[in-house]
Amino acid sequence: MRTARPFTPDSRAPRLARALAGDRTELFTEAVGAPPPVYGERWVHAERADYRAFEPGRSKLAAGIVRGWAGPIPGLGERWLYLGAATGTTASHVADLVGPNGRVYAVERSPRPFARLLALAERWSPLLPLLADARDPRTYLDRVPMVDGLYADIAQPDQIAIVRSNAELILGGAAPSIIVALKTASMGRDLSPADHLAAAERELGRDVRLVPAVRLDPFHKGHFLIGGTLGPGAAAPSSRRPVRLSRAPRPGRRRS
């Protein structure tokens, strides 16, 4: 484990840091777990803490931050619902960001990646894996409390509708946040990526104060990071009741 140059904490997330490496800036998250690395990422020791390289080529959230994402970032002590956690690459960094007292409820429907996610959770205590289908949030509603934010990385034609159905049931907190890694190639070939983005923003923007979307090229071709915070009057009450999102038609299934 190497010692890094001085880190600069991100003003929006105290456990996210930047360090200069020549003429470029690298991202790191303060590790809440212990080595070995999760996916081969570099670890460094700085200022009496261990940090993990947050690689934009491996994480769409990291790519969005590198590309200038001005929206929400998971913060210390928060609870987040993560849809499409796979083996836990980005989910482990979200767990770093929320810290030891935060929680990341990580939904993955495929048994093979879920097995690796489950093993990772033994070392990353904030990470709570759920073997479930994000299309049916009622199947895990009794295992997930109201959360402060929702992060989705689900390559489905109706990915925004899936996000909305989860938000209606589970999203709460003072300033509920939504972040979506939008994969336009999964939304059909009848529209261009820009048109798919515009359609997704129209649907999500009915209830969310959107920040400018960022394109994730060259790190993730055809992907955008979109989202923001729920608008006035849309925040969930303290007890578990659905968030009153305005209704938008759910797109039918199409072949991607």
What's the CATH number where 110 sits?
A: 3.40.50.150
- 188-241, pLDDT tens digit by residue? 888 898 999 999 999 999 999 999 999 999 999 999 999 999 875 343 333 334
pLDDT above 60: residue 256: no
Percent of the chain with pLDDT over 70: 88
d(CA 148, CA 50): 26
Structural domain contains residue 251: no
pLDDT above 70: residue 174: yes
Whether 32 and 159 share a structural domain: no
CATH code for the domain in which residue 39 is found: 3.30.200
d(CA 2, CA 241): 48
- The per-residue b/e assignment along 31-59, b for 16 or more CB within 10 angstroms, e otherwise, is bbbeeeebeebebbebeeebbbbbbbebb
pLDDT above 80: residue 244: no
Whether 132 and 7 share a structural domain: no
- 29-71, pLDDT tens digit by residue? 999 999 999 999 999 988 789 999 999 999 999 999 999 999 9
Structural domain contains residue 144: yes
- Tell me the residue range of the domain where 183 lies: 62-230
Whether 22 and 39 share a structural domain: yes
What does pTM read for this prediction? 0.88
